[in-house]
Amino acid sequence: MGKTGRVRHVILWVLEILAILLVALLLMLPIQDYARREHLRWYLNPSAENWQALQSKQREEFLVRLGIATPIAILALFLGFRLRSKSRTTT
């Protein structure tokens, strides 16, 4: 493997690690103020319908985060398979 091949390999590894970290953050961290209105409504008037609205908005937020994280996870998997096949062919 030449110098340019090694540099390319390192860049792909860095991209894969960044993609994995981004997916982890997207799945763990909530979207700021996504369900704020529903939470405030439930906090001021704790009723069953406001609780249901808050729960619905929280589920919707998770689905939005999952929709954003899925293409990045696919990219990380693709890079992982590509890097694994590159490392096996060079050894």
Number of domains in the chain: 1
Please answer whether residues 13 and 80 qualify as being in contact, where contact means their C-beta atoms are separated by less than 8 angstroms. no
pLDDT tens string 35-76: 899 999 999 999 999 999 999 999 999 999 999 999 999 988
Please answer whether residues 52 and 41 qualify as being in contact, where contact means their C-beta atoms are separated by less than 8 angstroms. no
Residue 7: which pLDDT band, with cuts at 50, 70 and 90?
confident
Question: Residue 21 is part of which domain span?
Answer: 3-90
